[in-house]
Amino acid sequence: MTQITVPRPDDWHLHLRDGAMLQGIVPETTRHFARAIIMPNLVPPVVTGAEAAAYRDRILAALPEGADFTPLMTLYLTEETDPADVAAAHASGLVKAVKLYPAGATTNSASGVRDFARVAGVLEKMAEIGLPLCVHGEVTDPAVDIFDREAVFIDTVLDPLRRRTPGLRVVMEHVTTKNGVDYVAAQGDDMGATITTHHLIINRNHILVGGIKPHYYCLPVAKREEHRLALVAAATSGDGHFFLGTDSAPHAEPAKECACGCAGCFTATNTMALLAHVFEREGKLENLAKFASENGPAFYRLPVNAGTLVLEKTDTPAEWPAKIVTGAGPVTVFDPGFPVYWHVKG
């Protein structure tokens, strides 16, 4: 038996949703994670400090009895966002990041940004106060192939935006390409990237070969194997630019298994076991703590969690429910497609 102890991990990119879905899935995160950056793409989105405070209260009210979990709130950047409201929400400690969705890029992104000139004032304020911008890094131009949208975003949006706003701290969320990894790794400590669990495990063949697998469909869509390998190398390297953001994104089964299925993989339940498997396979278990517990707090200028999480490898494959039953419908748990012998202890 092999065992590894890491500081309690955090999830730097999480969708908790609202209402019955929130209630049903929040224990899947609080079981292992101490904190999470909560994505603001509700319907309607979480735009103002007041809305973020109300959403935080709903999350806290939904926590299981005795849970030790802190939601780190974000604001959804719109062309109408008021720099003063953002600064106040940051100063009060409520908000830890602002989220940029290019309009139309992903689930519930219709209120996102179309004209970047209209958010220049907010971005300048954020650079001044050190508040990070989390970016869904895909262009939405219909002429750009979906598998190229991240790479094109880096060249045509992300890099120009960072040059225009010196000092702005940026997280490239759910990076999925070698282009993204190489770009981020070459920047200073004002740039970071989250990597999801599922993008470390699946490539685009997993979605399409042998029949379409709606539960492997997410955005940004998984790319070629060479890109997955670059993500694995980055995540397991210990490089402080890269940290865990599961992008665990629950959709009820009927919304996934239909003619026009929603994007999102649900990995909150089994992420830590899957990561131990991936890191061990690379011979890099010693860097799991950096990726899941240390690099994220360093970027967000927060302390590493005091508690610990113990993972152990046994002869018996780990088991988790195929679905989480919620009041909003069943949510399918990500299936890696291979047995996993790592378990979270306790």
Ligand X SMILES: NC(=O)N[C@@H](CC(=O)O)C(=O)O
Smallest CA-to-CA distance from 94 within 131, 124, 41 is with 131
3-state DSSP assignment of residue 177: coil
- Report residue 154 as tokens: 């880096």
Out of 136, 199, 277, 313, name the contact with ligand X by CB under 6 A: 136
Report the alpha-carbon distance of residue 263 to residue 249 in Å, rounded.
8
Distances (CA, A) of 112 to 93, 99, 168, 173, 228: 24, 9, 19, 15, 28
| Candidates 136-144, 200-208, 250-258, 305-313; binding stretch for Zn ion (CB under 5 A) | 136-144
Q: Are 83 and 121 in contact (CB under 8 A)?
A: yes
Binding characters for ligand X, 11-30, by CB under 6 A (x = yes): ----x---------------
Binding status of residue 247 toward ligand X by CB under 6 A: yes
User: Contacting ligand X (CB under 6 A), which of 52, 222, 249, 273?
Assistant: 249
Please indicate whether residue 247 is annotated as part of the active site. Answer: yes
Residue 136 contacts by C-beta under 8 Å, 6 or more apart in sequence?
A: 99, 100, 101, 102, 105, 106, 109, 173, 174, 219
| Residue 48 interacts with, from Zn ion, ligand X, none (CB under 5-8 Å by kind) | none
Q: Between residues 249 and 311, which has the closer beta carbon with respect to ligand X?
A: 249
Report whether 16 belongs to an annotated binding site: yes
Of these, 35, 56, 96, 136, which contacts Zn ion (CB under 5 A)? 136
List 47, 62, 219, 340, residue binding ligand X (CB under 6 A): 219
Q: State in angstroms the smallest separation of the CB of 39 from ligand X.
A: 6
Distance separating alpha carbons of residues 58 and 50, to the nearest angstrom: 13
Letters for 264-303 (x = contact with ligand X by CB under 6 A, - = none) are x---------------------------------------
Length reported for the chain: 346
The 10 Å Cβ neighbour count of residue 18 is 15
The catalytic site residues sit at: 247
Per the annotation, binding residues for Zn(2+) are: 13, 15, 99, 136, 174, 247
Which chain residues interact with ligand X by CB under 6 A? 15, 41, 106-107, 136, 218-219, 247, 249, 263-264
